[in-house]
Amino acid sequence: MGEQPIPAAGTTAPVETPPDESPEVAESPEVTAKATGEVPVQVAAEVSRPQPAAPPRRGKIVDTIAPRPSRRLAVPFQGRIVDVITDEVDLGTAGVVRREYVSHPGAVAVVALDDQDRVLLVRQYRHPVGAVLWELPAGLLDVDGEEPHVAAVRELVEEADVMGATWNVLADLLPTPGGSNEAIRVYLVRDLAPVPEDERHVREAEEAEMVVVPVPLEEAVQLALAGKLHNAAAVTGILAAAIGQASSWTTLRPVDAHWGFRRR
């Protein structure tokens, strides 16, 4: 086959048609619809879209304490336990913002697991939510100079009338970091023993009506996942205990493990 001539500028090259074939002509959707009775479907033209940016390289997934520059504007409320603080925070390119939050001393909670794999839950009225909740033995870090694990021992004795021999850190949490600096450490204690009757703490106020019930850990997990339990430390501690037990307690940390979010 010889070379094809190149058409001059401004002209259109002829289209050769094989002798026994005719060039196919694409009918419009409207023409096709009239012939077949079908509803025409509009086909969108292919649009060139920008490719999404590559995701950033994944580093360590770990919460990092890195406070932004801030200035204390006011303390509009000072209470016996908590304060309300107003700060001005410099977010760099995002600008300067004003934030109000609750300053909280922090707390500890205890998953007390007996030799039948039952976790001790306490029932207590909580006025802010107007509800009676099932929780772990727990309390504030409101004694100057008291170490968190010592506070946990004290709260377990006072609220559950129980002592324990084997202590570990189970989980740490910030229950409401958008509005409070409260930090909670949840401990696991095993090898339990009752506090002698004559040494038991006399509970007062809401604690006077406190009820202590041992619940199988598996049942407590189901209660948490079914939305029957709502206390953040209780749900966290129960699930963490179940995971820890399933992994032969390899998830546990020493009782004095570093706690960066604890308020001093």
Residue from 207, 209, 218, 219 carrying the catalytic annotation: 207
The verdict on 179 and 91 lying in the same domain is no
pLDDT digits (tens, 9 = 90+) for 32-65: 444 455 545 454 455 556 666 666 677 889 999 9
User: What's the confidence (pLDDT) of residue 197?
Assistant: 83
Q: Minimal CA–CA distance to 241: which of 259, 216, 263, 261?
A: 216
Report the candidate in 149, 137, 103 with the shortest Cα–Cα distance to residue 237.
Answer: 137
Q: 260 lies in a domain?
A: no
Q: Would 76 be classed as within a structural domain?
A: yes
pLDDT, one tens digit per residue, over 51-100 is 666 666 778 899 999 999 999 999 999 999 999 999 999 999 999 999 99
Same domain, 115 and 212: yes
Instruction: Tell me which residue range forms the domain holding 230.
Output: 106-246
* Separation CA 91–CA 111 (nearest Å): 39
Count how many domains the chain has. 2
75 and 195 in a single domain? The answer is no
Exposed, middle or buried by CB within 10 Å (0-12, 13-18, 19+), for 102?
A: middle
Q: Are strands 162-173 and 83-90 parallel, antiparallel or unpaired?
A: unpaired
Residue ranges in the chain modelled with pLDDT below 50: 1-15, 17-18, 21-26, 29, 31-35, 39, 41, 43-44
Catalytic residue status for 207 = yes
Q: Which DSSP letter does residue 255 get?
A: T
- Is residue 153 assigned to a domain? yes
